[in-house]
DNA sequence: CCTACCGATCGGTAGG
DNA sequence: CCTACCGATCGGTAGG
């Protein structure tokens, strides 16, 4: 499937440029140039610029949704689930750094149905995340904290992990997972 | 000084729109419309779109630089200084929510000398922040943590505080300051 | 995959 | 502060 592969190349290049300059500031001619082709040729593989963004965001969002589903269904206690969620973010961020950055910064440029779908996924994800965090608090694994604020803080760090990782690309994945768990989980007794 | 005041109105409106749609996706016609005037009339008060962004970013950055200077020179121990820094972020975020969001999301659209100046300020600020954080660790106020990662995490939360605050606008400033201090400072003994 | 090209929109200027 | 307007660039299409 040469066509599919070509489309994936374009998406990879687009993700890199969208991240670097932003979606609106990246032109189809920029993408074409980075692909060594002319702008109109891109349209043999994709249908529009906004489709590029939508597919990039939706596919990485699905990775998080799937990961959340697995964590929820796993036979673990709430604290272990929270650890697994943190590791999920670390892993996806390391493997798909550019796409993750779009999830943080460029989703505002989605329009119409895609924007609605995306926000629904985001709300579901955050609701599930909060549920696990609150279970941790209720079961006494965590310090008593404002759950909303704690979730906001943890997710803020995880959302910006891509920029830290980009400046420290040689870090070991397992090490980073453990450091993030240690940093983000305010355990009661140490 | 009606002219000055008019310019400030334009900057306030621009900050709101830049935040909502992004700098590149906001046209001068959008800003003019929100001001109930025609786009060319804006140029009686400002000189260019990029100047708008530059002035918004530089003036809010100066608030942080000034606050950092005061904290550094204050007769406080390192832990108290860290607390003061967190409160500084909370205060500026509450008072200038839109401009703070630009500091997080739109500085990438600075070009030329303004981009260089901005990055220099950012580097200085983070170096000072890290110095205070490392002093806290060395003096035994904080848990032993990876200082780079801890700073990254604290700043990530503080950078995104504007979005949390926008969803919880009725929070009391003093309460929020105290909650953020409690949440972000991993003290040794509680 | 390319050349030629379109209508829309952009930041900004001239002139009053 | 407005009307009239400019050159540049945008996403995208026609046709091969």
Q: What is the pLDDT of residues B13-60, one digit of tens each?
A: 999 999 999 999 999 999 999 999 999 999 999 999 999 999 999 999
* Alpha helices, H only, B24-172: 28-34, 39-42, 49-73, 78-95, 97-105, 112-138, 147-167
B19 CA, C11 C1': Å apart: 19
Cα–Cα distance, B172 to B103 (Å, whole number) = 23
Q: CB of A22 within 8 A of CB of B24?
A: yes
Pairwise CA distance, residues B61 & B59, whole Å: 5
Q: How far apart are CA B169 and CA B147, in angstroms?
A: 32
Q: Nearest CA to CA, how far is A120 from chain B (Å)? A: 17
Which pLDDT does position A188 carry in this prediction?
A: 47
Question: What's the pLDDT at B142?
Answer: 85
Protein footprint on strand C: which nucleotides are under 7 Å from a CB? 1-5, 9-15
Q: Which CATH class is domain B48-184?
A: mainly alpha
CA distance A33 to A10: 11
Residue B163 confidence (pLDDT) above 80: yes
Reported as a pLDDT band with limits 50, 70 and 90, residue B183 is: very high
Q: Can you tell me the distance from the alpha carbon of A171 to that of A161, in angstroms, rounded to the nearest whole number?
A: 12
Q: What percent of chain A has pLDDT over 90?
A: 90
pLDDT at B190: 43
Give pLDDT, residue A143.
Answer: 80
Question: What is the sign, positive or negative, of the torsion defined by CA atoms of B22, A151, A111, B36?
Answer: negative
Q: What is the pLDDT of residue A190?
A: 43
pLDDT at A128: 98
Examine the pLDDT at B177 and tell me if it is beyond 80. yes
Nearest CA in chain A to B183: A150
Residue A145 is predicted with a pLDDT of 80
Q: Select from 1.10.10.60, 3.40.50.300, 3.20.20.140, 3.40.50.1950 the CATH code of A1-47.
A: 1.10.10.60
The residues pairing with A142 across neighbouring beta strands, listed in sequence order, are A187
The answer to whether the C-beta of A22 is closer than 7 A to strand D is no
Strand D at less than 7 A from CB of A27: yes
**Residue B41 touches partner A, C-beta closer than 8 Å:** no
Tell me which architecture the domain covering A58-184 has in CATH.
Orthogonal Bundle (1.10)
**Torsion angles phi and psi, residue A26, rounded to 5:** -100, 120
Check: pTM over 0.75? Answer yes or no: yes
CA dist., res. B8 & res. A176, Å (int): 45
Q: What average pLDDT score do residues A71-90 get?
A: 98
B164:A157 CB<8 A: no
pLDDT band at A187 (very low <50, low <70, confident <90, very high): low
Report which of residues 35-94 in chain A place their beta carbon less than 7 angstroms from any atom of strand D.
Answer: 39-40, 43, 47-50
Residues B150-178: what's their mean pLDDT?
96
Nearest to B147 by CA among B78, B75, B91, B61: B78
Please say if the pLDDT value at position A189 is more than 60.
no
Domains of chain A, by residue range, sit at 1-47, 58-184
CB crowding B51-80: b at 16 or more within 10 Å, else e: ebbbebbeebbebbeebbeebeeeeeebbe
What is the average pLDDT across A54-76?
Answer: 98
Q: How confident is the model at residue B188 (pLDDT cuts 50, 70, 90)?
A: very low
Question: Within 10 Å of residue B164's Cβ, how many Cβ atoms?
Answer: 19
- From A155, which residue of chain B is nearest by alpha-carbon distance? B157
Q: Which residues contact A116 (CB under 8 A, 6 or more apart)?
A: none
pLDDT digits (tens, 9 = 90+) for A8-43: 999 999 999 999 999 999 999 999 999 999 999 999
- Tens digits of residue pLDDT in B114-157: 999 999 999 999 999 999 999 999 998 888 788 899 999 999 99
Residues of B in contact with A149 (CB under 8 A): 164, 179-180, 183
Q: Could you read off the pLDDT of A113-148 as tens digits, one per residue?
A: 999 999 999 999 999 999 999 999 999 888 878 899
In this complex, the residue with its CA at the shortest distance from the C1' of nucleotide D5 is B40
Structure tokens given for B58: 């530089």
Instruction: Check pLDDT > 80 for residue B189.
Output: no
Number of residue pairs across A and B with CB atoms under 8 Å? 61
- State residue A96's pLDDT score: 98
The count of other CB atoms within 10 Å of the CB of residue B111 is 11
């Amino acid at each position: 499937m040469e066509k599919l592969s070509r489309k994936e190349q374009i998406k990879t290049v687009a993700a890199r440029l969208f991240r670097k300059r932003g979606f609106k500031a990246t032109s189809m001619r920029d993408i074409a140039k980075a692909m060594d082709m002319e702008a109109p040729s891109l349209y043999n593989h994709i249908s529009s610029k906004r489709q590029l963004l939508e597919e990039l965001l939706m596919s990485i969002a699905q990775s998080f949704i799937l990961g959340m589903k697995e964590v929820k269904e796993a036979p673990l206690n709430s604290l272990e689930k929270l650890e697994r969620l943190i590791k999920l973010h670390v892993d996806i961020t390391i493997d798909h750094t550019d796409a993750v950055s779009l999830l943080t910064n460029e989703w505002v440029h989605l329009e119409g149905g895609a924007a609605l779908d995306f926000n629904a996924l985001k709300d579901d994800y955050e609701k599930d995340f909060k549920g696990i965090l609150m279970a941790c608090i209720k079961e006494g694994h965590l310090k008593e904290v404002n759950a909303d604020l704690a979730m906001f803080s943890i997710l803020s760090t995880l959302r910006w992990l891509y920029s830290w990782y980009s400046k420290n690309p040689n870090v070991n994945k397992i090490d980073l997972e453990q450091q993030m768990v240690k940093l983000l989980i305010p355990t009661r007794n140490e």
